[in-house]
Chains A and B, each alone.
Chain A
Amino acid sequence: MGFREAKFGLIAALEGGDYVHEAREAQNEKNLLAVGEVTRAFVIGLLRRTKSDDYGSSPHHADASVEVHVFRPMAGAVRWYVKAYFAPDASAVFISVHRS
């Protein structure tokens, strides 16, 4: 999956509320979207401003067939970090959303 497809796929998932957060017994508070520190509208804004230079992907450590998308946009003077992947049903799974 390329940059544009990942970017707009995540935006669509956020807009449709079609996303979950990766979790373990202890919820990682580095996912500021999961704990409500930032809104989905804010994350959509981050994704919209992400340029291809601020994007990368890599295999998920638990399953190499799953591509993890990493967006590192600047918002003002702050660089943000949005990490997510897609489930088989095309819903999004967020791993982390935080300031870099």
Chain B
Amino acid sequence: MRILREGDCGTALAPDGRGWVPVTFGYRTVRLEETGVDVPNVLVGVDDETGTILIIPSQSTPRLKAARELVKDEVFQVRIPHELEDILVLLADQFGASPSKFTPALLRFYLTEASERRALAVRLVKLSQGPLARGRRGVKLSFRGSSAFTSSVRRTSKAVRGASKSALARGAIIAAKEDLLDGRSPSRTEKMQAVAHAL
């Protein structure tokens, strides 16, 4: 792999119709569009005429990856069976909320409580072993959580046997089905209604 240096020259396609234009490689801060992270000291190809970034060489990828990894610490991501996704959508519908907003709120609700009450964590693990939770995990669930939340999930995983992040999430969805859809917990139903109203 050729390692480029600051000051090296190249060409890039200008976005404004000027065609191929000369660029000079230099170190700049690059913003990652979706995660909103500014990554400093990334080698990029800068348009000699306009001073804008036009290309990023492959040698800069690990730096961008490292910055995303730091942010990923706050992304909660698990894979679940389609059936459990159906339950989440049913629940959101029951509470009059959009699934994309309700699902993270529901999981944060249950997993935060599980980090505070061992009995709930044990229940979630047990539920994750049932047939409904063991289907093919064809759905990726992903949302951002505070570092406090993701830390609390990690603590629960360490404290309770079998309490992987995936098991806790799957168990939480089954617990929500029992508590909220099947009506077994009026108090949790009331709390989730308040959460749904706040979304």
A27: contacting residue among B2, B32, B138, CB under 8 A: B32
Q: Mark A29-72, 1 if CB is under 8 A from B, else 0.
A: 10001111100100000000000000000001011011000000
Q: Are B55 and A37 in contact (CB under 8 A)?
A: no
A20: contacting residue among B19, B57, B62, CB under 8 A: B57
Q: Are B13 and A63 in contact (CB under 8 A)?
A: yes
Q: Are A27 and B45 in contact (CB under 8 A)?
A: no
* Residue B127, interface by CB 8 Å: no
Interface residues on B, range: 20 to 34
**Alpha-carbon gap, A89 to B2, bound state (A):** 15
* Residue B151, interface by CB 8 Å: no
Q: A42 → chain B, closest Cβ, in Å?
A: 13
* Residue A75, interface by CB 8 Å: no
**Alpha-carbon gap, A27 to B32, bound state (A):** 5
Q: Mark A64-100, 1 if CB is under 8 A from B, else 0.
A: 0110000000000100000001011100010000000
Q: Are A27 and B31 in contact (CB under 8 A)?
A: yes
**Alpha-carbon gap, A92 to B68, bound state (A):** 24
Q: Are A36 and B13 in contact (CB under 8 A)?
A: no
Q: Are A35 and B31 in contact (CB under 8 A)?
A: no
Q: Are B52 and A25 in contact (CB under 8 A)?
A: yes
Q: Is the interface of B mostly helix, strand, loop or mixed?
A: mixed
Q: Are B64 and A24 in contact (CB under 8 A)?
A: no
Q: Are B55 and A21 in contact (CB under 8 A)?
A: yes
**Alpha-carbon gap, A97 to B62, bound state (A):** 16
A66: contacting residue among B13, B45, B138, CB under 8 A: B13
* Residue B107, interface by CB 8 Å: no
Q: Is the interface of A mostly helix, strand, loop or mixed?
A: loop
**Alpha-carbon gap, A28 to B2, bound state (A):** 24
**Alpha-carbon gap, A66 to B18, bound state (A):** 12
Q: B46 → chain A, closest Cβ, in Å?
A: 10
A25: contacting residue among B31, B57, B58, B68, CB under 8 A: B31
Which residues of B lie under 8 Å from residue A26 when comparing CB positions?
Answer: 30-33
Q: B66 → chain A, closest Cβ, in Å?
A: 8
Q: Are A24 and B68 in contact (CB under 8 A)?
A: no
Q: Are B20 and A21 in contact (CB under 8 A)?
A: no
Most buried by B among A34, A85, A87: A34
- A residues sitting closer than 8 Å to B (CB atoms) are 17-29, 33-37, 40, 60, 62-63, 65-66, 77, 85, 87-89, 93
- B residues sitting closer than 8 Å to A (CB atoms) are 1-2, 10-17, 19-20, 30-35, 44-45, 52-58, 61-62, 64-65, 68, 138
A-B CB proximity, top 9 nearest: A36-B65, A17-B1, A26-B33, A29-B34, A20-B55, A23-B56, A26-B31, A21-B56, A35-B64
